[in-house]
Amino acid sequence: MERTSPPLAELVRRWQHGWGVACGLDPADEADGALHVLSGQPGRHLESIVLDADGDPGSLRLHAAQVAGSPHSDWLTVPTTAPAAVEDVLSSEGLRLAPAREHFMRTDLAAHPRRDAAPEYAVELDREGPVLAARITDERGDPAAHGVMVVHGDVAVAHNIATYRAHRRRGLGGALMSALAREAVHLGAGTGLLTASRQGRHLYTALGWTRLAGVVGAGTRTRR
């Protein structure tokens, strides 16, 4: 029997759970077709993630209007296969668009290619509950790259993957993701999820990740 993929909304739920755990946030509340996460961060006092903007445009406008009318600096995150249309809606509601779109991506972790760091680098991996933390250091012990992956059932969510500027273009991003993917598979995960910037998308595509949707972000405009 052919295996069917979960709908985008379910993958978004699982992705949000992962980065919420990685950031130490309380579980999201789900209401009116969106997940609501209270983070208290500058510009993102409350973040709402619309689950099905493509299939339920009414929920998109509802939450855009709520963010636009909030007395706080709230944020709206919208995974969508029609990012330009979503941006038009958010702009029409008076929201301030993020400077760039992101990309929602998925991979089969068992098929993730192996990448090893150059000999002058060391890869370290720690685990605390469902959170895997990887770091790469250079020959002096200085940090060169870092990232986490949160394992929840058969899904692992990568978050905060970064390579320090002085160590870029040396394959460390691939080595970091390879180490995290192998350990996540060992813990029972089969599917990897993440969001990537335009630059990051090139790395993950080269590692076999597939883009599922764009991710549009917008926030409350600064009040005078």
Region 154-172 average pLDDT: 96
* Residue 43: per-residue pLDDT: 84
**Structure-block tokens of residue 219:** 């926030």
Q: 42: pLDDT confidence band, cut at 50, 70 and 90?
A: confident
- Alpha-carbon span 12 to 131, nearest angstrom: 19
pLDDT tens-digit map of 58-76:
999 999 999 999 999 999 9
Q: Please check the confidence at residue 119 and state whether its pLDDT lies above 60.
A: yes
* Residue 1: per-residue pLDDT: 38
pLDDT tens-digit map of 194-219:
999 999 999 999 999 999 999 999 99
Q: What are the beta bridge partners of residue 44?
A: 41
Amino acid present at 196: A
Annotation: CATH topology of 106-212: Aminopeptidase (3.40.630)
Per-domain boundaries in the chain: 8-104+213-219, 106-212
- Neighbour tally for 81: CB within 10 Å: 14
